[in-house]
Amino acid sequence: MGESILKGFSKYTKQQRIDALIQKYGFQEDLANWLESFENSDISIQKIIDDLSENPVSNFHLPFSIAPNFVVNGKNLFFPLVSEESSVVAALANAAGFWAKRGGFHAEVLGTEKKGQVHFIWNGNPEYLQSLFLEIRDKLFDESAYLTAKMEERGGGITGIELKSLPHIYPNYFQLDAGFETCDAMGANFINSCLEQFGKSLQNFFQTSEKISTGQRECEIIMAILSNYTPESRVRAWVECPIAKLLEGKSPLECELFARKFEQAIRIAQADVSRAVTHNKGIFNGIDALAVATGNDFRAIEACGHAFAARNGQYTGLTDVRIQDGKFYFSIELTLAVGVIGGVTAVHPLAKLAMQILDNPSAKELMMYLTVAGMASNFGAVKALVSVGIQQGHMKMHLSNIMNQLKIPEIHRHKIQEYFQDKTVSYSAVEEYWKNKRT
Ligand code: MEV
């Protein structure tokens, strides 16, 4: 029959959790030592890492990498990146160096408003409720003042609250749709606290106002939660250079051909969903790597970006290109919400270092850097795709991973790299070659 359900697992000690693993999967008894070898020798750091999640048994390592030469609005920065995909950092570093020689990246924040909703059911007339809304809104502002005072001191707070009647989604369904400014914080706790307070104030209004008839005092709050879709928290970034300067050591004709193919690739991503998803995945390769390094919630950033990509009813590529008067102009517009204070950013030692490497940016600056990372990653990918293809770069990284797996000593690696330069790289091909070399 089925296995017994483990109860209270979250209260187990680390050793008990590891014992449970050994018991269930038959791992060797020394699993604990092996798992411990991935942990930090400084117990205070290990405690910070353990506390980031629930039920940890060890640390899962990913490389913390650096892509230098990111010139953004004239400022020269190293970008800290965490990615498990080896070619991502290489693509970002190449694109950064490429554009550093051509004026760098330009970026501007177009807005920073975040959103959240209280979803509720009320069995009454929407127009009548709308006519009472100014009064309700004042009550919501007043009764959440204890939550907003500090944020207002920092220049943020609630930017607006609207009432929406949405019976096409559900009979008698309404939303309080609120906007927030959270300054340098991601603000999730602030927003959710305000929304939950709005829900209570709203119910209180229905229960106590003499303008509500006795039969309509019931207001059912379905949920109160921030939205990760933040269409008004928006960034634009761009690069530009003369077409003739697009490729080093190539003729103007070759540069023009490259620009044309690049433009075609962008147009295809804008029109075809199959290509758009991969195109945008390439953009998020860069954004996520910087978001993870700085302790930001990359799932929220991705979800928002993909929704923005479909804002006109069709999912499209997020970058754009214009070729005009001999100039190549490549740009991106993106919605994303990030924080630079609180959360993992303030706790994880490497996220803190990442922020220092970025010169302790404001939330607006980090929004621009993330957008630039996405654009750089996309430029690197599309540049490779329309010229040499991506396999050349990928295979170099793939070969290096295979050599690691086969534990090939460093002194032999260069020869193997040379040999595979014009051959298809696969685990079995490298294994075979290495076997023959040694016999
Ligand atoms: C691979 O991680 C990302 C690419 O597929 C992106 C793209 O095709 O644009 C190279």
pLDDT in tens, 372-394: 999 999 999 999 999 877 767 66
Of the pLDDT bands very low, low, confident and very high (cuts 50, 70, 90), residue 110 is very high
The percent of residues in the chain predicted with pLDDT above 90, rounded, is 86
Q: At 256, list the tokens.
A: 């023009």
CATH number at residue 86: 3.90.770.10
Bigger pLDDT: 130 or 435? Answer: 130
b/e map 359-377, b = 16+ CB within 10 Å:
eebebbbbbbbbbbbbbbb
Q: Do 31 and 1 sit in the same domain of this protein?
A: yes
Residue type at 430 in one-letter notation: V
Of the pLDDT bands very low, low, confident and very high (cuts 50, 70, 90), residue 79 is very high
Of the pLDDT bands very low, low, confident and very high (cuts 50, 70, 90), residue 421 is confident
Residue 1, pLDDT above cutoff 80: no
- Ligand 1 pocket check: which of 279, 319, 332 to mutate, most ligand atoms within 8 Å of Cβ? 279
- Determine which residue's CA is closest to atom 4 belonging to ligand 1: 282
Q: Do 106 and 119 sit in the same domain of this protein?
A: no
Phi, psi of 227 (to 5 degrees): -105, 135
Q: Which atom of ligand 1 is nearest to the CA of 382?
A: 9
Three-state DSSP class for residue 20: helix
- Ligand 1 pocket check: which of 87, 94, 280, 385 to mutate, most ligand atoms within 8 Å of Cβ? 385
In a domain, 247, yes or no: yes
| Ligand 1 site residues, Cβ closer than 6 angstroms | 85, 278-279, 281-282, 285, 381-382, 385, 390
Q: How many Å apart are CA 149 and CA 155, to the nearest integer?
A: 10
389 alpha carbon to ligand 1 midpoint, in Å? Answer: 10
Q: Which atom of ligand 1 is nearest to the CA of 384?
A: 10
Helix 427-438 and helix 410-419, axial crossing angle in degrees, nearest 10: 120
CATH number at residue 146: 3.30.70.420
Q: DSSP state, 10?
A: G
In a domain, 66, yes or no: no
List the single range of 178-182, 220-224, 252-256, 319-323 with lowest mean pLDDT. 252-256
In angstroms, the Cα distances linking 391 to 51, 70, 405, 421, 423 are 40, 25, 20, 11, 11
In a domain, 421, yes or no: yes
> pTM for the whole thing?
0.90
The secondary structure of the chain in percent helix, strand, coil, rounded to multiples of 5, reads 50, 20, 30
Residue 346, pLDDT above cutoff 80: yes
In a domain, 314, yes or no: yes
Q: Do 244 and 326 sit in the same domain of this protein?
A: yes
Q: How many Å apart are CA 204 and CA 186, to the nearest integer?
A: 29
Q: Average pLDDT in the 138-164 region?
A: 97
Q: How many Å apart are CA 323 and CA 262, to the nearest integer?
A: 10
The percent of residues in the chain predicted with pLDDT above 70, rounded, is 99
Q: Which atom of ligand 1 is nearest to the CA of 87?
A: 2
In a domain, 366, yes or no: yes
- Ligand 1 pocket check: which of 268, 390, 398 to mutate, most ligand atoms within 8 Å of Cβ? 390
Phi, psi of 110 (to 5 degrees): -95, -15
Nearest Cα neighbor of 72 from 296, 237, 304 is 237
Residue 10, pLDDT above cutoff 90: yes
Q: Do 169 and 183 sit in the same domain of this protein?
A: yes
61 alpha carbon to ligand 1 midpoint, in Å? Answer: 23
Q: How many CB atoms lie within 10 A of CB 321?
A: 20
Residue 397, pLDDT above cutoff 80: no
Sign of the four-CA dihedral 73, 79, 83, 88: positive
Name the average pLDDT for the chain.
95
Of the pLDDT bands very low, low, confident and very high (cuts 50, 70, 90), residue 2 is low
- Residue ending a domain, among 185, 209, 227, is 227
Residue 395, pLDDT above cutoff 80: no
Residue 435, pLDDT above cutoff 70: yes
Pick left, alpha or beta for residue 344 (phi over 0 → left; psi -120 to 50 → alpha; otherwise beta).
Answer: alpha
Q: Say how many CA atoms lie within 13 Å of 299 toward its Cβ.
A: 1
Q: At 410, list the tokens.
A: 């460093």
Q: Do 245 and 369 sit in the same domain of this protein?
A: yes
Q: At 232, list the tokens.
A: 């008004």
Q: Do 174 and 244 sit in the same domain of this protein?
A: no
In a domain, 319, yes or no: yes
Residue 192, pLDDT above cutoff 70: yes
Residue pair 250/259 in contact by the 8 Å Cβ criterion? no
- Determine which residue's CA is closest to atom 6 belonging to ligand 1: 282
314 alpha carbon to ligand 1 midpoint, in Å? Answer: 20
- Ligand 1 pocket check: which of 285, 318, 383, 387 to mutate, most ligand atoms within 8 Å of Cβ? 285
Q: Do 405 and 299 sit in the same domain of this protein?
A: no
In angstroms, the Cα distances linking 269 to 196, 263, 279, 380, 389 are 40, 10, 6, 15, 17
Residue 181, pLDDT above cutoff 80: yes
Q: Which atom of ligand 1 is nearest to the CA of 88?
A: 2
Q: Which atom of ligand 1 is nearest to the CA of 275?
A: 8
- Residue ending a domain, among 227, 243, 264, is 227
Domains: count for the chain: 4
Residue pointed to by tokens 């793939």: 398
In a domain, 393, yes or no: no
Q: Do 348 and 244 sit in the same domain of this protein?
A: yes
**Angle value at C-alpha 199, between 196 and 201, nearest 5 degrees:** 110
Q: What is the model's pLDDT at position 424?
A: 82
Q: At 143, list the tokens.
A: 């009764």
284 alpha carbon to ligand 1 midpoint, in Å? Answer: 10
Q: How many Å apart are CA 407 and CA 424, to the nearest integer?
A: 20
Nearest Cα neighbor of 332 from 278, 257, 280, 262 is 280
Residue 401, pLDDT above cutoff 90: no
Q: At 224, list the tokens.
A: 């109160």
306 alpha carbon to ligand 1 midpoint, in Å? Answer: 16
385 alpha carbon to ligand 1 midpoint, in Å? Answer: 8
List the single range of 2-16, 121-135, 168-182, 315-329 with lowest mean pLDDT. 2-16
Q: Do 263 and 185 sit in the same domain of this protein?
A: no
Q: Do 222 and 131 sit in the same domain of this protein?
A: yes
Residue 241, pLDDT above cutoff 90: yes
Q: Do 94 and 76 sit in the same domain of this protein?
A: yes
Q: What is the model's pLDDT at position 393?
A: 65
Residue 288, pLDDT above cutoff 90: yes
In a domain, 165, yes or no: yes
Q: How many Å apart are CA 186 and CA 1, to the nearest integer?
A: 47
Residue 33, pLDDT above cutoff 80: yes
Q: How many Å apart are CA 288 and CA 290, to the nearest integer?
A: 5
Of the pLDDT bands very low, low, confident and very high (cuts 50, 70, 90), residue 4 is confident
Q: Do 384 and 282 sit in the same domain of this protein?
A: yes
**Domain range holding 120?**
114-227
